[in-house]
């Protein structure tokens, strides 16, 4: 038994990722099992491979990280688009990509994609099998393969990925100071409630006069925080687990999404962003020559919102029954701007242009709404924190004012 366990662990630790040039000076790479680095070099040399780089494949790197990060995804899409546009075969494009500080999992999956392509698997299916790439990217690659415009589609997706990344980066940067303000205010409030208020309460309770109602509430909150801190923490963890479980259930998720989309300000931004993503997929796929039903199916599968996916799937059923897309969406309370542009596209016979205009419209709305939220969020948080801390201070000082009036 011990020998089997040792043999099993040795098997896990003997895999290597290698990169080199074959006998025709063509870049090649692969995964190989060897007991040592020297043996790997000698084995590849016998196969006519000049090794350039070797990296040990640790056992966990076949499964983690679960998803590719946005930076490496942008780099891959950009390089694949450029290499395909230059006329290189797809397999060579996969081999020639150069990534800085890529994870072992990503390098391993790229080699697996090469092997899948060599065995006759399509590019989109090989990306799907890796489970490393977002569903949206997989479906868009499938659309590019079906239309024969993979290079163009990858270039457009890369451009949109860069735009979205820049928007997210700016939004996160603008949230930095408001979050620091919120965190500082919460920490100060917790310190006051957990440590300062009990000390002051000892002074007030030694007297024989009645405390103001606001002060009594504050003392009760402080007592509850001290006595139930463990229960509060467990409750928060259970609430988080419950929300994750509810989110995994399609019917309940729709209700949660309805609540999220009706949050003032932020809900509108999420709604606009979901519509921009939908029309991005529809624009790229329909203009690439993909049939409308397939475009809607790709958009439904790639949407992160169950509400939107259900609307698009219902649209597919309506189109199969002979209805127009604008008529179907009218019953689903889509915006008048969206319905008008789709009707124009149906009448003019150019739905692709309508999808593109709607994509640009919603992207502009996302930028405008995010800028509005950026300007509103910091003063709103300052007012909230100042009001909460001020209320605590007023509750602490009210008994002192009462004592002064009684003297």
Query: Does the residue 307 lie in any domain?
Result: yes
Instruction: Indicate the pTM of the whole model.
Output: 0.74
From residue 50, give the alpha-carbon distance in Å to each of 113, 209, 212: 22, 90, 83
CA dihedral 333, 339, 343, 345 (to 10 degrees): -130
Query: Does the residue 65 lie in any domain?
Result: no
Residue at a domain's end among 161, 186, 209: 161
pLDDT at 404: 62
DSSP-assigned states of every residue in 23-54: TTS-EEEEEEE-SSHHHHHHHHHHTT-EEEEE
Per-residue model confidence as pLDDT tens digits over 97-129? 888 778 888 989 999 999 999 999 999 999 999
299 and 260 share a domain?
yes
Per-residue model confidence as pLDDT tens digits over 78-94? 999 999 999 999 988 98
Q: Which residues pair with 54 in a beta bridge?
A: 18
Residue 50's domain comprises 2-57
From residue 182, give the alpha-carbon distance in Å to each of 317, 378, 379: 47, 9, 11
Residue at a domain's end among 131, 161, 191: 161
Residue at a domain's end among 137, 161, 185: 161
For CA atoms 34, 38, 39, 43, give the dihedral sign.
Answer: positive
359 and 223 share a domain?
yes
Cα gap 307→323, rounded to integer Å: 21
109 and 193 share a domain?
no
Cα gap 298→161, rounded to integer Å: 18
From residue 69, give the alpha-carbon distance in Å to each of 66, 79, 132, 133: 9, 16, 9, 9
Q: How many domains does the chain have?
A: 3
Query: Does the residue 385 lie in any domain?
Result: yes
245 and 289 share a domain?
yes
128 and 215 share a domain?
no
pLDDT at 85: 92
C-beta of residue 172 within 8 angstroms of C-beta of residue 70: no
Q: Extract the residue ranges of the chain whose pLDDT is less than 50.
A: 1-9
pLDDT at 320: 92
C-beta of residue 272 within 8 angstroms of C-beta of residue 331: no
C-beta of residue 352 within 8 angstroms of C-beta of residue 287: yes
pLDDT at 405: 64
Output phi, psi for 303, to 5 deg: -70, 140
Output phi, psi for 43, to 5 deg: -65, -45
pLDDT at 5: 45
Q: Where are the beta strands (DSSP E) in 270-320?
A: none
């Amino acid at each position: 038994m011990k020998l089997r366990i040792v043999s099993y662990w040795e098997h896990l630790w003997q895999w290597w990722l290698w990169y080199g040039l074959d006998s025709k000076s063509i870049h090649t790479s692969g995964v190989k099992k060897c007991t040592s680095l020297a043996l790997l070099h000698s084995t590849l040399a016998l196969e006519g491979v000049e090794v350039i780089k070797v990296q040990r494949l640790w056992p966990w790197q076949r499964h983690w990280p679960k998803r590719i990060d946005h930076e490496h995804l942008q780099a891959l899409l950009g390089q694949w688009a450029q290499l395909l546009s230059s006329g290189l075969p797809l397999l060579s494009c996969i081999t020639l990509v150069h990534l800085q500080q890529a994870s072992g999992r990503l390098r391993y999956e790229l080699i697996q994609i090469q092997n899948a392509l060599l065995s006759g698997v399509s590019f989109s299916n090989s990306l799907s099998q890796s489970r490393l790439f977002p569903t949206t990217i997989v479906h868009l690659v499938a659309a590019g393969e079906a239309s024969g415009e993979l290079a163009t589609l990858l270039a457009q997706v890369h451009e949109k990925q860069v735009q979205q990344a820049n928007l997210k980066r700016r939004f996160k940067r603008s949230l930095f100071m408001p979050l620091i303000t919120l965190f500082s205010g919460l920490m100060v409030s917790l310190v006051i409630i957990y440590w300062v208020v009990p000390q002051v309460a000892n002074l007030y309770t030694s007297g024989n006069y009645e405390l103001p109602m606001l002060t009594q509430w504050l003392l009760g909150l402080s007592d509850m925080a001290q006595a139930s801190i463990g229960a509060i923490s467990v409750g928060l963890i259970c609430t988080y687990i419950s929300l994750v479980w509810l989110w995994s259930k399609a019917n309940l998720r729709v209700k949660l999404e309805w609540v999220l989309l009706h949050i003032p300000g932020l809900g509108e931004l999420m709604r606009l962003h979901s519509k921009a993503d939908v029309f991005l997929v529809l624009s790229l796929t329909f203009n690439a020559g993909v049939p409308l039903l397939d475009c809607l199916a790709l958009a439904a599968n790639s949407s992160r919102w169950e509400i939107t996916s259900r609307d698009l799937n219902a649209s597919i059923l309506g189109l199969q029954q002979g209805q127009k897309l604008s008529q179907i969406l009218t019953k689903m309370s889509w915006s008048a701007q969206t319905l008008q542009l789709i009707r124009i596209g149906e009448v003019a016979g150019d739905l692709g242009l309508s999808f593109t205009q709607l994509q640009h419209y919603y992207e502009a709305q996302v930028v405008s709404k995010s800028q509005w939220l950026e300007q509103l969020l910091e003063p709103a948080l300052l007012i909230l924190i100042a009001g909460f801390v001020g209320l605590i201070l007023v509750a602490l000082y009210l008994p002192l004012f009462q004592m002064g009036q009684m003297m």
